[in-house]
Amino acid sequence: MAAERDYYELLGIDRNAEPKVIKNAYKKMAGKYHPDRNSSPDAESKFKEIKEAYEVLSDPQKRQMYDQFGHAGVNQSMGGGQQGNPFDGFESVFESFFGGGFGGAGGSRSRAARGADLIHEINISLEESFSGCEKTIKVMAMETCGDCGGSGARKGSTPMTCSHCNGSGTIRMQQGFLAIEQPCPVCHGEGKIIKDRCPTCRGQGQIQKNKSINVQIPRGIESATRMRISGKGEPGQRGGPPGDLYLDIHVDDHTIFEREGNNLTCDVPISFATASLGGEVEVLSLDKKLTLKIPPETQSLSHFRLRKQGMPILRSDNRGDLICRIIVETPVNLNSQQKEMLTTFANSLSEDQAKHSPKCDTWMNRLRKIFQTR
């Protein structure tokens, strides 16, 4: 039997490759050898090897076992792609003496394989994050073939039990004291042989489809959050459970509000007269109008906090705060009479500059001290 190829070599990547590099390499290789796109005789087997390599290297635990023990560590052939026991090959030694392996009666193993997980990115608005929303996303994923029901055999036929291994998927090689189980070279560990392959899925039991999935985005979710939707990944093989769908949430920037944790911040422009004399201005949160009281002599860049008017806190009935940053607007497009009145007003203030403009007076005094010391 031919030796199993190195998973890193199959994907054309280094052994220290990052998860993103592994994913990109898989997409490239899978697209190259997919049986629907590549008609060469060995395309189907190569595609299967590439998918198997990705399922192992994209899972941190399986990858660690593979790096440490090789193919025996992940037990791909005998364990259907799930994390394996690197000492599985020696279980039959104990079976010879005690009538069973570590796994229970007869050391039997399930070849069921869990479906692959899917990752999808989704953008939502700040308003959708505030109120929660339902989104319909489309993902390319493998699905159970409807024509063969996942068996891989042409409709009306069934896979045959492998006569070489009697359907176990493994053969036992014994030499003296040592007995080791290996994948059956005839059925390649499947336990069954498909004589008449399903033309739709080419015997794979699965086909790639663009499917729509409705997902519920909870209120208050933050950007860069990853959601897990159980059972919405690719279907399992040989009766295995489906994988999960992971959603990477990105919240778009807003034209007015900025989010800081569970708080919202926004700039509120007010007139020079309102800043000087005080008053009330109307502000908006994401769900209603609010009244903000401006005290007399308010300076630009002052901050006012409106309690519990910010973002909903995820999985809670509470909310963050709305923080209003005051911007005092300088009057523009003045007519001659207004300019004259403003000049008279400014002259009246200059008689006691320190009293009316304490920050400006302090700043000027600091400048004088700096230049006097030079």
Residue 304 lies in a domain: yes
β-bridge pairing 160-161 and 206-217 = unpaired
Residue 88 lies in a domain: no
As a whole number of angstroms, the distance between CA 107 and CA 100 comes to 5
As a whole number of angstroms, the distance between CA 347 and CA 354 comes to 14
Give the CA distances from residue 98 to residues 90, 101, 102, 176, 182, in Å, rounded to whole numbers and listed in that order: 13, 8, 10, 17, 20
- Residue 308: pLDDT over 70: yes
- Tens digits of residue pLDDT in 6-44: 888 889 998 888 888 999 888 888 888 887 777 788 888
Residue 157 lies in a domain: no
DSSP one-letter string for 247-311: EEEEEPP-SS-EEETTEEEEEEEEEHHHHHH-EEEEEE-SSSEEEEEEPTTPPTT-EEEETT-SP
What is this structure's pTM?
A: 0.56
Count of structural domains within the chain? 1
- Residue 151: pLDDT over 90: no
Q: What are phi and psi of 355, to 5 degrees?
A: -75, -40
Q: How much of the chain exceeds pLDDT 90, in percent? A: 34
User: How does 180-212 read in b/e, with b if 16+ C-beta sit within 10 Å?
Assistant: bbebbeebebbbbbbeebbeebbbbbbbeeeee
Q: What is the pLDDT of residue 132?
A: 94
**Between 215 and 350, residue with greater pLDDT:** 215
Give mean pLDDT, residues 206-232: 90
Residue 363 sits in a domain whose CATH number is 2.60.260.20
Residues 6+ apart with CB under 8 A from 55: 62, 81, 116
Q: Which of 286, 288, 283 is nearest to 268 (CA)?
A: 283
For residue 312, give both structure tokens.
């909903």
Residue 173 lies in a domain: no
Residue 86 lies in a domain: no
As a whole number of angstroms, the distance between CA 108 and CA 110 comes to 7
- Residue 181: pLDDT over 70: yes
Residue 340 lies in a domain: yes
Residues 6+ apart with CB under 8 A from 319: 262, 308, 309, 310, 311, 312, 313
Q: What is the pLDDT of residue 187?
A: 83
Give mean pLDDT, residues 184-194: 83
Least confident stretch, 29-43, 193-207, 290-304:
29-43
Q: What is the pLDDT of residue 169?
A: 83
- Using an 8 Å Cβ cutoff, are 322 and 309 in contact? yes
- Residue 280: pLDDT over 60: yes
> Looking at residue 190, what DSSP letter applies?
S
Residue 331 lies in a domain: yes
274 pLDDT band (50/70/90 cuts)? very high
Q: What is the pLDDT of residue 3?
A: 54
Give residue 339's domain range: 258-372
- Tens digits of residue pLDDT in 335-373: 999 999 999 988 888 777 667 777 766 766 777 777 776
- DSSP lists the bridge partners of residue 306 as 322
Burial of residue 142, with CB atoms counted within 10 A of its CB: 0-12 exposed, 13-18 middle, 19 or more buried: buried
Q: Which of 81, 208, 196, 210 is nearest to 148 (CA)?
A: 196
Average pLDDT, the chain: 82
**Between 86 and 260, residue with greater pLDDT:** 260
Dihedral over alpha carbons 296, 301, 305, 306 (to 10 degrees): 80
Residue 82 lies in a domain: no
Give mean pLDDT, residues 107-127: 79
